[in-house]
Amino acid sequence: MKFPRVFYADRNSANSGAKAALERHASRILRRVAQDLRLAASSHEIVTDPRRGSSAVRVSLRTETLFVDVVERHCGSGVALSFRTRRGRLDHTGGGENHVSLKQLETQGGYQAMLDGLRVAGGIDLKCGGRR
Structural domain includes residue 75: yes
Structural domain includes residue 129: no
Structural domain includes residue 114: yes
Structural domain includes residue 128: no
**Sign of the four-CA dihedral 119, 122, 125, 129:** negative
Stated pTM of the model? 0.80
| Per-residue DSSP letter, 4 | -
Percent of the chain predicted with pLDDT > 70: 77
pLDDT of residue 44: 93
Mean pLDDT of 2-19: 67
- What total of structural domains would you count in the chain? 1
Backbone angles phi, psi at 18, to 5 degrees: -65, -35
Structural domain includes residue 41: yes
**pLDDT surpasses 70 at 53:** no
Mean pLDDT of 80-109: 82
Domain ranges, residue 87 = 5-122
Q: Which residue has the higher pLDDT, 117 or 10?
A: 117
Other residues' Cβ atoms within 10 Å of the Cβ of residue 63:
23
CA 88 vs CA 66, 75, 124, 125, 128: distances in Å: 9, 32, 14, 17, 19
Structural domain includes residue 47: yes
Structural domain includes residue 116: yes
Structural domain includes residue 83: yes
Largest Cα separation within the chain, whole Å, is 44
